[in-house]
A and B are shown apart, each in its own frame.
Chain A
């Protein structure tokens, strides 16, 4: 069964840092793009970042560019999100998802259960 499991969330002060991890199983991890998506309390889904199979391409939503870094370790079938200079508006459940890309279509499946990040003093 394909599965991704996130960890690393928690309470952090504004300006602080946190590193999220996502471990994948049940599929050939190194063959897929991976993604982080977040959902602030009571709000909709927001794409955060994607990373290519070999880590050579990384893309970010403008609001986190320069503060967040997505990375992966194919040997550990894991993807990470290093979050620095955290702000209150980064408070959200962060989901990890596998990305499938085929021509002009992409889709996210499976998703993890998410890890909650709270930025507050």
Chain B
């Protein structure tokens, strides 16, 4: 399968923990990377590989993997974390890439 499935929308109370998931058969073979996109701005890498954060990304962001599911967890969500989040990985062929449909995170 070449699809990655994300919940369209998730909400979290300010300061609480939220998990955003990404499901797909290819995730059994390849790690996902995660991107944050705010309105009018380019996507920004937040997590890649097993659980790696680029410099400048707060440590409240973390990643995990289990079977066909990759997860992005935010511990202590802040107002500035409100954004769309996309996962990405290769498809099962290994030579094409695919993004999940995106999850709109609302911080209440």
Contacts and interface: CB of A to CB of B under 8 A. Distances in A.
B42 A114 contact: yes
A37 B99 CA distance: 10
A46 interface: yes
A45 B102 contact: yes
Nearest to A111: B42
Contacts of B29: 104
Contacts of B30: 104-106
A61 B42 CA distance: 21
B33 A106 contact: yes
Interface in A38-77: 44-47, 50, 59, 61
Contact of A105 (B31, B37, B86, B98): B31
A112 interface: yes
A35 B100 CA distance: 17
A18 to B, nearest CB: 20
A109 B47 CA distance: 11
Contact of A112 (B35, B42, B89): B42
B42 A108 contact: no
Contacts of B15: none
B96 A111 contact: no
Interface of B: 29-31, 33, 35, 37, 42-45, 48-50, 54, 84, 86, 88-90, 95-102
